[in-house]
Amino acid sequence: MKIVTETPYLPIRGLPPWLLNLAVVFLVCGYCAGIGLMAGSERWTITALLIAAPVAVIGAALVGHYFQMVVLLLPLSALILPIAEIGTGSETRLPLSLLLTLALGGLWIAAMYRRGWKIVASPLNAPLVVFAAICTISLFWGIIWRDPILLPWSGTSFVVVQIASLVTILASLGAGLLIGNFVTTRRQVGWVLGCFTVVGVLMTFSQMLGLNQSVLNDRGLWGLWHTAAVVGLLVAQPKIRWYWRAALLLALGLNLYHTMIVNSLWVSGWLPSVTGVAAVVFFASRRLFFSLLLVVALVAGQPLFAYITEVNDANVEEGSLQRLTLWEQNWRVVSDHWLFGTGPAGYAIYYMTFFRADARSTHNNYLDILAQFGFTGLFVWFWLAIVAVWEGWRLISRAPPGILRTAAIVATGGWIAALGSMMLGDWVLPFAFNQGIGGFKYTVYTWLFLGLLISIRRIIADEEREAEEEADAIREADFANAATAGGSVDAAIR
């Protein structure tokens, strides 16, 4: 699918073609000479900009021509090569997945500006757009209503951080919309699931072997989306050969063993995965879900209770209850900025002013949203969360057995688990002073799967429309054949 079209050649009136060709040659030679002159005088910044300009133009043309193919690279750009980043001159680095999302989003917006603002129909569109608008409004609202005592802390550099944080959030929403609008076939949906299944297996082995590698991005909720995809294929996807099911079962067992037994103290690492597995099984088969629940209760109920108690006591000893103090501290800021919040990353300067001895982030995405975007933003977020679950439920019921239903189950079950994980940290919307802007490369996982719900709805609608058109054509052909046969009988009687 292309989002750019070829532009017809428009000759400049009064100039012969040979003169235009000569002008282009002189322009290119002059441009190259300028690059050489800047490089020779060691003006490296200008040299880099001169080289980057034509490369960017050529790159944009290629991306526009192969737009859909590049969108399908988004999962891989996030899952692999986490070190593929561009420095900003500070501690913040921009990951490849963020840059790719911004480039694709910019080209898409430019194309829609020329051709009309049309996106694939979905109940998710409205809450996504409204939440993006609330986040943007909160930036200006937070600056306008900022406490005067904070002015020494709120210089230009902090506003830049806020803008970067806003762009990261908008890019997260945009990643979901890109997947939803440009993943258009069953095979492409399977590609997204396959990326998280295969790369997740590699991540599991990498962590079990303790490899110090920089190729796989095994951070954030990678375990949730890997196990959700694996379980979805196991219990919902028909016609999978027994040895592939055995391999998937082994991958699931190894992942849960490493996260729940080896790294049991890191609750954010295994609780979302377990929740996701339970939700996926529930959506796939209620009978299987309650059967497994009964087996676990009878066979492993007491050991499981002891395990949970031990993990909870260990986390309390490590200071997990300090989160309650952080949440109370957050409320003291929110109570004065309840409508649109303090803006993206805005509550950080309040912490640095009033709570400098304990200026830590909330480690709770819901309180992050409340503090940054106010009750208005939190209300719209709950709207998005509920609509996504409801839409996923409807798609599971509507999709025929196969990859579309499997993907709907995985996306819906994983989304529910991701919503739960937000109580444990900023795993879905990265906070600028915790996960950082660079955290986009793994928080985007959730948004890619949310986008699949938009895509699945579109594919199902297209297939239903094609089936209906085919049925209408068959009925018309049968009617025509019947009419022809009836005419032949009448002629024979006469």
Q: What is the DSSP letter of 214?
A: S
Quick check: 64 pLDDT over 70?
no
Share above pLDDT 90 across residues of the chain, in percent, rounded to a whole number: 48
Question: For residue 156, what are its two tokens?
Answer: 């230009």
pLDDT greater at residue 307 or residue 188: 188
Each residue of 296-352: pLDDT tens digit? Answer: 888 776 776 676 676 666 655 665 656 666 777 888 888 888 899 999 988 888 888
Lowest-pLDDT range of 118-122, 444-448, 484-488? 484-488
Instruction: Tell me the pLDDT tens digit for each residue of 88-145.
Output: 667 778 888 999 999 999 999 988 888 888 899 999 999 999 999 999 999 999 888 8
- pLDDT score for 10: 42
Looking at residue 57, its pLDDT comes to: 64
Q: Are 190 and 403 in contact (CB under 8 A)?
A: yes
Phi and psi (nearest 5°) for 94?
-95, 115
The pLDDT of residue 54 is 65
Q: Is the pLDDT of residue 4 over 70?
A: no
Residue 226 has pLDDT above 90, yes or no: yes
Q: Is the pLDDT of residue 55 over 60?
A: yes
Q: At what angle do helices 96-115 and 44-65 cross, to 10 degrees?
A: 60
Query: Does the pLDDT of residue 458 top 80, yes or no?
Result: yes
Q: Rounded distance, CA 104 to CA 65, Å? A: 12
> What's the rounded Cα separation, in Å, for the pair 33 and 26?
10
pLDDT recorded at residue 81: 80
Nearest to 279 by CA among 334, 227, 322: 227
Q: Which residue has the tokens 């790369």?
A: 199
Whether 239 has a pLDDT exceeding 80, the answer reads yes
CA distance 203 to 273: 14
**Residues 384-398: tens digit of each pLDDT:** 999 999 999 999 999
- Mean local confidence (pLDDT), 189-208: 95
Contact present, 344 and 166 (Cβ < 8 Å): yes
Please give the mean pLDDT across all residues of the chain.
Answer: 84
